[in-house]
Structure 1
Amino acid sequence: MGEGRGVGRRAVFAGGVAGAVTLGAVRFAAAAGGVRAETVRGTLPAGAPDFVYVPVEIPSGVREVRVAYSYDRPAVPAGTAGNALDIGLFDERGTALGGRGFRGWSGGARTEFFVRADDATPGYVPGPVRAGTWHIALGPYTVAPRGLPYEITVTLAFGEPGEAVRPVYPPERAKGRGRAWYRGDCHLHSWFSDGRRTPGEIAALARAAGLDFINSSEHNTHAAHAHWAEAAGDDLLVMVGEEVTTRNGHVVAVGTDPGTFVDWRYRARENRFGRFARQIRRAGGLVVPAHPHATCLGCAWKFGFGEADAVEVWNGPWTPDDEVALADWDGMLAASAREGRGWLPAMGGSDAHRDPDVVGLPQTVVLADDLSRTAVQEGLRAGRSYVAESSRIALGFGASGGRGEHAGIGERLRVDPQTPVTVRLAVTGAPGRAVRFVTDQGVVHTSGPLPESGEGTVEWRTTAARAAYVRAEVRHGAAAGAPLPGALAAFTNPVFLGRE
């Protein structure tokens, strides 16, 4: 066994990734067979960099690399951060930003993992174990005031490698219904990151929730992409992506080319996000900041929205931070209308990880020409969508002018400023819910509870001079004395009014 030292004595600055250090290497003697293990120990101080790399010198002839780790979790006073240490692996191609050497990430979800040519722990990528300097990546998410002592054991199994696996990805098209409204959940986690469900279990829940499409979005790994093919089918389109989980906010890559990995090892002040947003788009995906006002450490979005294609306004069961996200998004809509520039569509996603998280709460309902990756993405990018808490709720929303002009969700009704405009919302599946119309002037119309049938139609009249856009909300009743309105049951993207 060998014993390494902590950051304070053996650290040198790593190239290519800011806020990182590299420790002294773990070395193994070459062997013709058998198993060899080495253990390293150290302590990360409070204020440790975002990433710490432990080099591992891998000799030739290795069949499997296995890593196990543990760390102290001392009690800390209330309001003080305790210890939380994430882990991942890079191979001999290096740790440079961009992730050419990336072999997997499990965050804090696992205490051990392995990789070999024919298999790997969920979250890790199978492939050859080549000789060279590999790196265990440690991510001290939080460090207690007295430091974070850790222990890592690396075990190498020597021998002939297994046969490399050929990835099989889900098809990019399902049967569909032609041009129609399709329901989806683009923010889901399986056991390939910190979820507890298999892809098959998630697909079954998606079908039960009435969904037509889903998006695989594991934290900081693309390892799940090759494990969704069996879960897809004519009735369920499975797109693949990633939740890029930085220390300054999370972004969901929706529908990237299979096998695309997007790096997460940067902060907003380093001005690197644009590079990776462009990578997502080059890979055919959408850039969607997730839960931008979430209160968990590192979750609030700090990168701005200039590179976004949409924003996840509603994340899981409705909470006050979703209310803030909705208000912030509405402010962006008003600014885009005022300044005559492009607008950012809203989406929703369940962020479901495990029981009792509900897949499809909420779900984004998009008007698409077909049930295919490209058609769904086109509809989402254009904002031809609304968000609902379940498949029971369906909305029909649009605006009409005096001469038969009509525009639906995400579209523009091109009328003169004083032309009378009728805004109409048809709702099904929402008994007892209230309806609100919102414009750049705020909430302009509220309708009483829908009947027990859950069906109803609400109309309101305006002009483009009075409203640059109109969007609709369907809400639950507010609790007596509550400072916020009732939780959303559904909401739409806007219809814009006026010639431009």
Structure 2
Amino acid sequence: MCEEQGGSGGAGVGRRALFTAAAATAVTLGGVSFAEADDDGAQQDGATVSRTVSGTLEPGAADFVYIPVEVPRGVRELKVSYGYEKPQVPAGTQGNALDIGLFDERGTGLGSDGFRGWSGGARTEFTVSAEQATPGYLPGPVRAGTWHIALGPYTVAPQGLAYEITITLTKGAQGRTPRPSFPPERARGRGRAWYRGDCHLHSVHSDGGRTPAEIAALARAAGLDFINTSDHNTSSSHPEWADLAGDDLLIVLGEEITTRNGHVLALGTDPGTWIDWRYRARDNRWGAYARETRKRGGLVVPAHPHGTCIGCNWKFGLAEADAVEVWNGPYTPDDEMSLADWDNTLVAAVRGGRADWTPAMGNSDAHRDPDVVGLPQTVVLADDLSRQAIQEGIRAGRSYVAESSAVEVAFGATGGRGGHAGIGERLAVDAAAPVTVRLDVKGAPGCTLHFVTDQGTLFTSEAVDGSGSGSAAWHTTPSYAAYVRAEVRHPATVEGLPGALAAFTNPVFLGG
């Protein structure tokens, strides 16, 4: 499976050790020794010593490959740089992609306190010390013991994946690790109101091209009231947002947990929370980590469930989900598939007589220019602009998704003796009672308005005029429609396919 050989500078890579981890497959290779770094000549403050190792991972390599590094006493900084070959491959065949991260002397076990960072394939080198660390990594003491470089061979070419890693230690006294501060959990807000947010954003702390400051500025420009941070597999950005929040912008903290069988947002976790991602659906570990996410204050939101990138398609099911990201970035056919799948879960819930259902949301997944922050955005009815209130609104499904802050939606159902139910609520009337469903929109010129039920789309309006404001009403009964949700769609551009969404709502349920 793996071939490893000693590198330049006399790197001591011994016989490899193989094991299968409790979750996903893993390999631990022989260790890299810095024993001579304890010699008197290498004790001088600022002195550096490097080791280079190289090897080849064959097709079918383990999900994670760990290279132990014996770190001696008296080290103040650890630096890792790496590279790997990217040979040409036949058409339709995946080439090489190698992710990288770091665990300290506390170990590599699932959920280990030893996690010190992950950059995936976003950078070719990183540095860790007590005072600071490369984005994606956590500052902290460089203590003596066995550290591990974690390699994630995302894809391996038929020729194999040849890599080379250089580890450099700098001697000296440990510095002081800064005490982190985090954004406040509440902004001024407007009391009970509709608040706009984007909960899937990437910064330079993972594979994004924007700093937290740039993202916060774009969020304000997009008319957002809140954002959730979601860098891949790391919490390193959490302290960077403290000074970027304000009365006009709530910043909640999270992570995009990027497994080999799909991605999921840990939305609004406690500051500094890191949730492990090193498992597959077959490992039966997901439920425990979903519960850990909630225990640490977050919501569990599978992201882009029909995403087309390798490993992006969600394979863990929705049993543990608090919501699901149905619309991800500019509207595409995979979003249409996610919308249809989500609607099927609503049908299953009402036909099974279940009160539980999974709300939908939408986010931009913006990484870098020209990705648009707030395309789309989730608009949440919340009691105030706070982490808890926003999470409660998302979990209850009191929300709709819009392509921008220019689009506003009001949707609800009336019936019985003055009864009314809004988005995410239930209108409790008899099965034969007449019900009127009404949708009002702004900012949607040329769009059509649709009412979708457990039987499918049962009403479609004429196109909204150039003012962008339009309304539609429809009459039904709970026996005919167990729920109704609204869609606002642009004109179709491909014959036989629906137009892209401008907005859609969570359902209003009808009946007792």
Give the TM-score category using the shorter length.
over 0.9
- State the AA in 2 paired with 1:25: G
The aligned residue for residue 485 of structure 1 is 498
Q: Does 1:25 align with 2:36?
A: no
User: SS at 1:232's partner residue?
Assistant: coil
Equivalent of 1:119 in 125, 132, 151 = 132
The aligned residue for residue 406 of structure 1 is 420
Pairing 1:88-237 to 2, within 5 Å after superposition: 88-237=101-250
Q: Does 1:80 align with 2:86?
A: no
The aligned residue for residue 10 of structure 2 is 2
Q: Distance in 2 between matches of 1:252 and 1:213?
A: 16
Task: Give TM-score scaled by structure 2 length.
Answer: 0.96
Equivalent of 1:417 in 396, 414, 431 = 431
Equivalent of 1:247 in 234, 247, 260 = 260
Q: Does 1:348 align with 2:359?
A: no
CA shift, 1:479, in A, is 1.6
Alpha-carbon deviations, 1:19-75, whole Å to 9, x = none?
Answer: 000001001122423101000010001100000000000001000000000000001
Question: Is the CA contact (8 Å cut-off) linking 2:13 and 2:31 kept in structure 1?
Answer: no
User: SS at 1:326's partner residue?
Assistant: helix
Equivalent of 1:472 in 475, 486, 490 = 486
CA shift, 1:480, in A, is 4.9
Q: Distance in 1 between matches of 2:142 and 2:308?
A: 40
Percent same amino acid among aligned pairs?
71
Count how many residue pairs are aligned between Structure 1 and Structure 2.
496
Q: Does 1:384 align with 2:395?
A: no
Question: Is the CA contact (8 Å cut-off) linking 1:14 and 1:22 kept in structure 2?
Answer: no
The aligned residue for residue 452 of structure 1 is 466
Question: Is the CA contact (8 Å cut-off) linking 1:63 and 1:161 kept in structure 2?
Answer: yes
Q: Distance in 1 between matches of 2:20 and 2:336?
A: 41
User: SS at 1:474's partner residue?
Assistant: strand
Q: Distance in 2 between matches of 1:370 and 1:201?
A: 26
CA shift, 1:15, in A, is 5.0
Q: Does 1:328 align with 2:334?
A: no
- State the AA in 1 paired with 2:337: V
The aligned residue for residue 275 of structure 1 is 288
Q: Distance in 2 between matches of 1:57 and 1:467?
A: 65
User: SS at 1:380's partner residue?
Assistant: helix
Q: Distance in 2 between matches of 1:3 and 1:83?
A: 25
User: SS at 1:202's partner residue?
Assistant: helix
The aligned residue for residue 75 of structure 2 is 62
CA shift, 1:14, in A, is 5.8
Question: Is the CA contact (8 Å cut-off) linking 1:5 and 1:41 kept in structure 2?
Answer: no
Q: Distance in 1 between matches of 2:141 and 2:22?
A: 24
Superposition RMSD on alpha carbons, in Å? 1.1
Alpha-carbon deviations, 1:168-219, whole Å to 9, x = none?
Answer: 1010000000000000000000000000100010000000000000000000
CA shift, 1:5, in A, is 6.6
Alpha-carbon deviations, 1:449-485, whole Å to 9, x = none?
Answer: 111111111100000000000000000000252x320
Question: Is the CA contact (8 Å cut-off) linking 2:87 and 2:159 kept in structure 1?
Answer: no
Alpha-carbon deviations, 1:136-163, whole Å to 9, x = none?
Answer: 0000000011110100000000001221
Q: Distance in 2 between matches of 1:455 and 1:110?
A: 47
Question: Is the CA contact (8 Å cut-off) linking 2:186 and 2:386 kept in structure 1?
Answer: yes
Question: Is the CA contact (8 Å cut-off) linking 1:182 and 1:212 kept in structure 2?
Answer: yes
Q: Distance in 2 between matches of 1:479 and 1:356?
A: 22
Question: Is the CA contact (8 Å cut-off) linking 1:17 and 1:96 kept in structure 2?
Answer: no
Unaligned runs of 5+ in 2: 1-8
CA shift, 1:81, in A, is 1.0
